C-alpha cells in the first residue's frame, strides 16, 4: 500500500515558517556584519581621557583676554547646573528626537536621505544623532566612508546601552569641539562670552548650539553675519520645539548676542602669532605639561584704535593700489602696545610687522643726520646746498626733481632732500651711519653703497619702531618686546622680563645730538613732508619715507615715550599709485595716534642727558628756523642771505655764530 504525503503547508504556517527563516538569516547576517566592522573598533576605555597639549592663554597689559592657543578644556559641568534652555538648544537643532531613539534615528536618517536626493548642490543634510556625534568625537576619525558610519552606529548603540540619556548629553556637551581651541560647553562659554556655562543666556546658548554644524564656519570670530543667521535659525527651532517662547526669541533678536570684545579683536592674532614664536626662546615648552598664562604688553583699547585706523584709511585709499599695511606702536621702554600685521588676518596670516623686510626710504635719513650731529661738525642750522652732484657713477635725485639751493640741515630733513642726505652720509662715512642705525635698533643687514642714505636697506616695521624709541625717551635704547611674564595656571612664574628696567637702560644718544634731532624731526611735522600728522595738543616729531617707484611708503613718528611706525605697500612689491609717506601712512598714523594718545599718559618729548638746550638756545634756533620755513607753505625755497649794506655798522652774524652764541649764553 502506497503512502502519500501532502507537503503543502497552510498559508498561516508558511508565513510563520518563512518569516522565522528570514529572521534567523537576517540575525546571522547582522551578527556577521557587525562582527566584521567591530573587529577594529577603537578602544572605548579612553572614554574619560583627554590627550592634548597645554593651552596658552594670552592676556593684555591690564589682564583682559586676548587669545587662547592650544586645546582648552575646562572641568566638566553637570547638566543640572545648566539652565534648561542650554541643553535644550542643542537638542532642538541637532537631534529633536533625542529622548525617543536608541542611538540612531531611522526617521531622521530617512529624512536626510530624501533631502539630499532632491537637493541641488550645497551642503548635504546630516542625519546623525547627538549620540552618534558623541561616538564620532570620542572614538572615530572624521573620514566620510561606509565603514566609519557603520562603526559610528555600533558605538552609538553601545553608548545608549551603557549610559542614560542624561549622561550621554552631559558627555556630549563636555567633550564637543566649539572652535577656537575650546572643547566643552564650559571652555566655550569662557572663550566666547567670558563667563561660566551656568550663566549662559538664551542667545548665547543658541549661538553655541549653532556652531555644531561647523565650529569654524559658524564662529562669530570668523564670520559674524553667518554666525548671526545661524543663531536665528537655532532660536526659531527652539520656539518650534517649545523650549522658549516667541517673546523670549524676539527679545534676543532685539538685544543681540555680544561676543567677548577681546576675542573679536582679529588683528591681535598677528601679535599672538609672533609671541608663539618667541615663547620657545624663553622657556622649554617640551617640559611643560601645565596650561600657561602669558601676560603681554599689548593694550587692547589701543590695539582696537590701530585696527580701526588701518581699516578706515586703507578703505579710503583703495583706489591708490594700496594693498597691505603694518603698524607697530611701542612705548619708551620698548613695550609693544599695538601691532597690525596686515589688513585682514583671515585672508593672510603673514605678519608684515615683523616678517616683511622692505626698503625704509627716507625714514632711514634720521640715522644719517644723527651721525652728522654726533660728529660735532653740524647743527640743525648748518648751511648746506641742495644741488646736483654725483658719487662716482651714481647721482641722487630729489622727489620733486627740483633743487632748493642754499638751505639748512633742518630744512633738508623736513623737505626730505635726497641730495643733502647722500652728501652728508658720504661726508660722515656710510659705515658710521650703518653703525648708528644698528646702535639704535636696526638688526637687518645694512648696505653701505652710496644710495644707502636714501633708505635702500630692507627693514621691518618693528625694527623701525624700536630704532626711533631713543629719540622719544631721552636717548635710551629699547628692545621691542611683547611678553612681561609667563606663569602656569597654578601661578608658578616661569619667566619674568626685566626689559625697560631703569638699571638696565643703555644711553645710545647723547646731547646735544639728541636735542638737535628732535628739533629737526619736529620741523618735519611742523612744516615738512609730515605736516599732515600734526596734532596741535601734542609734541610730535617724525619722518616720512617713500621708496622709488612708490613701492613702499612709511611714516614713523613719536611723542614723549611713545613711537608708532606705519608701512603700506603691496606684497608683490609692485608700485602703488603715487602713494608717499605723507599720504596713506601719515593718515593711518594720525588717525591712530589721535585716539591712542588720549588713552595714555602723554608727555612732551624729553631732553637728553644734561637737560638739553636751554630756553635761550632753543629760542634762537626757533627764530632762525621760522625765518626759512612756513607751515602753510612747506615747500618754499629759501633765498640766499643778501649782502649787507655799506652803511650798516657790521654785517649780521651767520647762523652758526648765532647758534654758538646762544649755547654760550646757556652755559
- The alpha carbon of residue 474 and the mean position of all alpha carbons in its chain are separated, in whole angstroms, by 30
Torsion of CA 472, 473, 478, 482, to 10 degrees: -80
Contacting residues for 467 by C-beta, under 8 A, at least 6 apart: 367, 437, 440, 441, 442
In order, the DSSP letters of 147-165 are HHHHHHHHHHHHHHHHS-H
Alpha-carbon distance values, 488 to 58, 195, 256, 285 (Å): 12, 21, 35, 12
Q: Distance between CA atoms of 159 and 168, rounded to whole angstroms?
A: 7
Length of the chain: 667
Q: Which letter, b or e, does each residue of 552-568 get, where b requires 16 or more Cβ atoms within 10 Å of its Cβ?
A: bbbbbbbbbbbbbbbbb
Cell triple for 206: 543658541
Which neighbouring-strand residues pair with 327?
340, 566
CB count, 10 Å around CB of 397? 14
Backbone angles phi, psi at 643, to 5 degrees: -70, 145
Measuring CA to CA, which residue among 163, 103, 158, 110 is closest to residue 133?
103
Radius of gyration of the chain, Cα coordinates, nearest whole angstrom: 35
- Residue 30: count other Cβ atoms within 10 Å of its Cβ: 10
3-state secondary structure of 328: strand
3-class state of residue 146 by DSSP: helix
> Could you confirm whether 362 is annotated as catalytic?
yes
First CA to last CA distance, the chain:
152
459: β partners: 358
- Which is the catalytic residue, given 205, 362, 382, 497? 362
**Residue in 186, 200, 170 with CA at minimum distance from that of residue 74:** 186
Strand 336-340 and strand 324-331: the pairing is antiparallel
Q: Does 512 sit behind a cis peptide bond, omega within 30 degrees of 0 on the bond before it?
A: yes
Handedness of CA 518, 521, 527, 533 (dihedral sign): negative
Helix (H, G, I), strand (E, B) or coil at 397: coil
Label residue 74 left, alpha or beta by phi (over 0 means left) and psi (-120 to 50 means alpha). Answer: beta
Is residue 4 flagged as an active site residue? Answer: no
Q: Which of 55, 94, 128, 219 is catalytic?
A: 94
Cα torsion at 467, 469, 474, 476 (round to 10°)?
A: -60
Q: How far is CA 337 from the centre of its chain?
A: 12
Q: H helices of 125-267, where?
A: 130-139, 146-162, 165-175, 185-193, 202-210, 224-240, 246-255
Q: How far apart are CA 307 and CA 327, in angstroms?
A: 9
β-sheet bridge partners, residue 554? 545, 567
Q: How far is CA 143 from CA 38, 147, 149, 637, in A?
A: 17, 9, 9, 73
**CA distance to 263, 359, 576, 580, 634, per residue, from 550 (Å):** 36, 11, 5, 7, 21
Q: Is 618 exposed, middle or buried (0-12, 13-18, 19+ CB in 10 A)?
A: middle
Among all residues, which ones are annotated catalytic?
94, 362
Amino acid at each position: 500500500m502506497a503512502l502519500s504525503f501532502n507537503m503543502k503547508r497552510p498559508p498561516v504556517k508558511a508565513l510563520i515558517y518563512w518569516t522565522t527563516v528570514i529572521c534567523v538569516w537576517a540575525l546571522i547576517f547582522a551578527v556577521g556584519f557587525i562582527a566584521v566592522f567591530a573587529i577594529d573598533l577603537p578602544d572605548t576605555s579612553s572614554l574619560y581621557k583627554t590627550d592634548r597639549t597645554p593651552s596658552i592663554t594670552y592676556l593684555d597689559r591690564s589682564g583682559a583676554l586676548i587669545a587662547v592657543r592650544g586645546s582648552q578644556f575646562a572641568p566638566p559641568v553637570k547638566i543640572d547646573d545648566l539652565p534648561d534652555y542650554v541643553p535644550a538648544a542643542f537638542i532642538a537643532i541637532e537631534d529633536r528626537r533625542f529622548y525617543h531613539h536608541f542611538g540612531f534615528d531611522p526617521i531622521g536618517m530617512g529624512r536626510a536621505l530624501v533631502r539630499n536626493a532632491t537637493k541641488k548642490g550645497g551642503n548635504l543634510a546630516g542625519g546623525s544623532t547627538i549620540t552618534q556625534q558623541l561616538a564620532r568625537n570620542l572614538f572615530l576619525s572624521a573620514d566620510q566612508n561606509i565603514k566609519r558610519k557603520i562603526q559610528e552606529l555600533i558605538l552609538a548603540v553601545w553608548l545608549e546601552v551603557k549610559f542614560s540619556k542624561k549622561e550621554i548629553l552631559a558627555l556630549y556637551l563636555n567633550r564637543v569641539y566649539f572652535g577656537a581651541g575650546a572643547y566643552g560647553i564650559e571652555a566655550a562659554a569662557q572663550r566666547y562670552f567670558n563667563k561660566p556655562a551656568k550663566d549662559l543666556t538664551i542667545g548665547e546658548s543658541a549661538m553655541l548650539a549653532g556652531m555644531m554644524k561647523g565650529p569654524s564656519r559658524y564662529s562669530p570670530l570668523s564670520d559674524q553675519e553667518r554666525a548671526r543667521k545661524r543663531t536665528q535659525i537655532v532660536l526659531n527651532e527652539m520656539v518650534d520645539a517649545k523650549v522658549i517662547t516667541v517673546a523670549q526669541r524676539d527679545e534676543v533678536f532685539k538685544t543681540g548676542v555680544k561676543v567677548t570684545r577681546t576675542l573679536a579683536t582679529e588683528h591681535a592674532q598677528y601679535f599672538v602669532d609672533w609671541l608663539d614664536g618667541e615663547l620657545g626662546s624663553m622657556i622649554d615648552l617640551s617640559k611643560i605639561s601645565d596650561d600657561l598664562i602669558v601676560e603681554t604688553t599689548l593694550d587692547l583699547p589701543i590695539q582696537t584704535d590701530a585696527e580701526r585706523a588701518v581699516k578706515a584709511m586703507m578703505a579710503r585709499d583703495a583706489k591708490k593700489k594700496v594693498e597691505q599695511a603694518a603698524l607697530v606702536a611701542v612705548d619708551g621702554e620698548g613695550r609693544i602696545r599695538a601691532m597690525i600685521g596686515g589688513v585682514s588676518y583671515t585672508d593672510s596670516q603673514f605678519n608684515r610687522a615683523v616678517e616683511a623686510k622692505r626698503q625704509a626710504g627716507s625714514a632711514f635719513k634720521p640715522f644719517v643726520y644723527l651721525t652728522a650731529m654726533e660728529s660735532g661738525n653740524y647743527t640743525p642750522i648748518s648751511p648746506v646746498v641742495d644741488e646736483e652732484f654725483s658719487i662716482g657713477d651714481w647721482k641722487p635725485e630729489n622727489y620733486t626733481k627740483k633743487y632748493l639751493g642754499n638751505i639748512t640741515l633742518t630744512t633738508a630733513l623736513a623737505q626730505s632732500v635726497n641730495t643733502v642726505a647722500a652728501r652728508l652720509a658720504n661726508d660722515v662715512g656710510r659705515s658710521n651711519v650703518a653703525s648708528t642705525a644698528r646702535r639704535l635698533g636696526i638688526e637687518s643687514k645694512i648696505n653701505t653703497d652710496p644710495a644707502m642714505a636714501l633708505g635702500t636697506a630692507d627693514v621691518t616695521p618693528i625694527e623701525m619702531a624700536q630704532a626711533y624709541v631713543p629719540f622719544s625717551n631721552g636717548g635710551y635704547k629699547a628692545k621691542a618686546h611683547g611678553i612681561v611674564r609667563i606663569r602656569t595656571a597654578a601661578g608658578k612664574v616661569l619667566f619674568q622680563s626685566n626689559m625697560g628696567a631703569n638699571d638696565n637702560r643703555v644711553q645710545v644718544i647723547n646731547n646735544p645730538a639728541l636735542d638737535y634731532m628732535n628739533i629737526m624731526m619736529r620741523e618735519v611735522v611742523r612744516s615738512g613732508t609730515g605736516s599732515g600728522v600734526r596734532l596741535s595738543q601734542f609734541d610730535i616729531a617724525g619722518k616720512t619715507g617713500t621708496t622709488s617707484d612708490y613701492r613702499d611708503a612709511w611714516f614713523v613718528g613719536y611723542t614723549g615715550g611713545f613711537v608708532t611706525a606705519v608701512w603700506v605697500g603691496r606684497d608683490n612689491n609692485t608700485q602703488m599709485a603715487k602713494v608717499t609717506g605723507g599720504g596713506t601712512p601719515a593718515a593711518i598714523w594720525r588717525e591712530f595716534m589721535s585716539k591712542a594718545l588720549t588713552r595714555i599718559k602723554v608727555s612732551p618729548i624729553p631732553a637728553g642727558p644734561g637737560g638739553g638746550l636751554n630756553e635761550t638756545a632753543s629760542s634762537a634756533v626757533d627764530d632762525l628756523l621760522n625765518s626759512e620755513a612756513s607751515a602753510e607753505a612747506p615747500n618754499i625755497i629759501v633765498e640766499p642771505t643778501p649782502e649787507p649794506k655799506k652803511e650798516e655798522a657790521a654785517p649780521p652774524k651767520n647762523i652758526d655764530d648765532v647758534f654758538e652764541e646762544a649755547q654760550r649764553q646757556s652755559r
